[in-house]
Structure 1
Amino acid sequence: MAVKRNYSFEKRQKELAKKKKKEEKRKRKQAKKEAAEHDDLMHDDGVGNDSDENPAE
């Protein structure tokens, strides 16, 4: 006699894998965003090009 497949278990495992992958992607995007913001802060240290001031006037 063949063993009956447990589709609900397989579905749950697939959903968990999808959820884990989505969470990892979200964390990578968050880390990338934070790194970009950190780089912007490092470049905007007040030295150099100030776009708020108008030197022509």
Structure 2
Amino acid sequence: MAKPNYSFEKRQREIAKKKKQDEKLAKKQAAKDEANPPTEPAEHEKTDGGQ
């Protein structure tokens, strides 16, 4: 009977966990971007070259 490769199994679990975490972060970021669309600066915030 073959000996179990615990290192391989652990690495696979770690990879799956990281992938799931990255997907969750991307989903949160997309929801945040959708809720707060970028806006252009107001007229009074624009600079005229420091004069």
The alignment-based identity, stated in percent, is: 58
Q: Of the two, which has the highest radius of gyration?
A: 1
The residue that corresponds to 1:52 in the other structure is: none
The residue that corresponds to 2:48 in the other structure is: none
- Calculate the TM-score normalised by the size of structure 1: 0.64
The residue that corresponds to 1:15 in the other structure is: 14
The residue that corresponds to 2:2 in the other structure is: 3
Question: What one-letter code is carried by the residue in structure 1 that aligns with 2:25?
Answer: R
Question: What one-letter code is carried by the residue in structure 2 that aligns with 1:27?
Answer: A
Aligned residues: 38
The residue that corresponds to 1:24 in the other structure is: 23
Runs of 4+ deviating beyond 3 Å: none
Which residues of structure 1 form unaligned runs of 5+? 42-57
Partners of 1:37 and 1:21 lie apart in 2 by 24
Q: Deviations over 1:10-55 (max 9, x none)?
A: 00000000000000000000000000002xx6xxxxxxxxxxxxxx
Which residues of structure 2 form unaligned runs of 5+? 40-51
